[in-house]
Amino acid sequence: MSHLVARSLSHVLRRTSVRSAQFSSMPDSLEHATGIEKRELLAKVAGNDNPFDLRVLKRGAGTKDCPNQVPSAFDSRIIGCICEEDATTVNWMWLHQGEPKRCGCGHWFKLEYKAPV
Ligand SMILES: [Zn+2]
Asked if 36 and 28 touch (Cβ cutoff 8 Å), the reply is no
Domain segments of the chain as ranges = 25-55, 68-113
How many whole angstroms from 2 Cα to the centroid of ligand 1? 19
Evaluated on CA atoms 59, 105, 93, 48, the torsion sign reads: positive
Q: By C-alpha distance, which of 67, 55, 58 is closest to 20?
A: 58
Q: Is the pLDDT higher at 100 or at 15?
A: 100
> pLDDT (tens digit, 9 = 90+) per residue, 60-107?
888 999 999 888 888 888 888 888 888 888 888 899 999 999 999 999
How many whole angstroms from 29 Cα to the centroid of ligand 1? 20
Q: pLDDT band for position 109 (50/70/90)?
A: very high
Q: pLDDT band for position 1 (50/70/90)?
A: very low
Q: DSSP of 35-84, one letter per residue?
A: HHHHHHHHHHHTT-S-TT--EEEE-----SSSPEEEEESSSEEEEEE--S
Stretch 11-27: mean pLDDT, rounded? 48
Q: Is the pLDDT higher at 3 or at 103?
A: 103
Domain 68-113: CATH class, spelled out? mainly beta
Q: Is the pLDDT of residue 8 over 90?
A: no
How many whole angstroms from 81 Cα to the centroid of ligand 1? 4
Q: pTM of this prediction?
A: 0.52
H-run or E-run covering 117? none
Cα three-residue angle 85-55-115, rounded to 5 degrees: 135
How many whole angstroms from 90 Cα to the centroid of ligand 1? 8
